[in-house]
């Protein structure tokens, strides 16, 4: 014998999950118009929090049905992977938009002054143009 209220409850849970997943899949990527890596990270955290809450609600509604719990976990895994893929794409977009600066020692030639790093230290260069290390300029001990 078929238990109608239980079937209706299962159908409603499934509908709720499908609507949530569709919202995550189509609305969330529109929100990932990030300008920085931290924006990408914050969007990922917010999306995963929302998806996890929906998944937890679905799992709680399963009331001990193992197949239902297994389905809920599978849907969570798919949603989490999709959110992580979107976050990776966001980080890739941010990195592609930032200009990579050439190192200050790129066009150094023997006889040129030592190139300066961003932190104020200077590069110790070999005659062939390879970086041997960094040093902090200061008063000479030999004067």
103, 56 in Cβ contact below 8 A? no
pLDDT at 24: 63
Give dist(CA 83, CA 102) in Å, integer. 33
Q: What is the pLDDT along the chain (143 residues), one digit of tens a residue?
A: 456 666 766 766 776 666 666 666 555 554 444 468 889 999 999 999 999 999 899 888 888 888 988 998 999 999 999 999 999 999 898 888 877 777 888 888 888 998 998 888 999 999 888 999 999 888 766 65
Domain ranges of the chain: 4-97, 102-143
Say what the pTM is.
0.49
pLDDT at 17: 67
pLDDT at 14: 72
Tokens of 8: 């209706």
In this structure, what are the phi and psi dihedrals at residue 138, rounded to the nearest 5 degrees? -165, -175
Long-range CB contact pairs, 77-85, < 8 A, 24+? 78/21, 79/21, 79/24, 79/51, 79/55, 80/48, 80/51, 80/52, 82/24, 82/25, 83/24, 83/28, 83/44, 83/47, 83/48, 83/51, 84/44
Tokens of 114: 């030592």
């Amino acid at each position: 014998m078929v238990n109608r209220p239980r079937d209706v409850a299962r159908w409603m849970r499934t509908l709720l999950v499908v609507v949530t997943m569709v919202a995550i899949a189509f609305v969330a990527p529109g929100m990932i118009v990030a300008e920085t890596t931290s924006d990408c990270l914050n969007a990922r955290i917010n999306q995963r929090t929302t998806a996890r809450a929906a998944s937890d609600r679905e799992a709680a509604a399963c009331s001990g049905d193992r197949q239902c719990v297994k389905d809920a976990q599978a849907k969570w895994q798919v949603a989490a992977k999709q959110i992580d893929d979107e976050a990776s794409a966001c980080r890739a977009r941010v990195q592609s938009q930032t200009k990579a600066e050439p190192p200050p020692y790129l066009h150094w030639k023997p006889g040129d002054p030592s190139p300066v790093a961003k932190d104020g230290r200077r590069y110790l260069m070999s005659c062939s143009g390879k970086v041997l290390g960094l040093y902090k300029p200061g008063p000479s001990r030999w004067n």
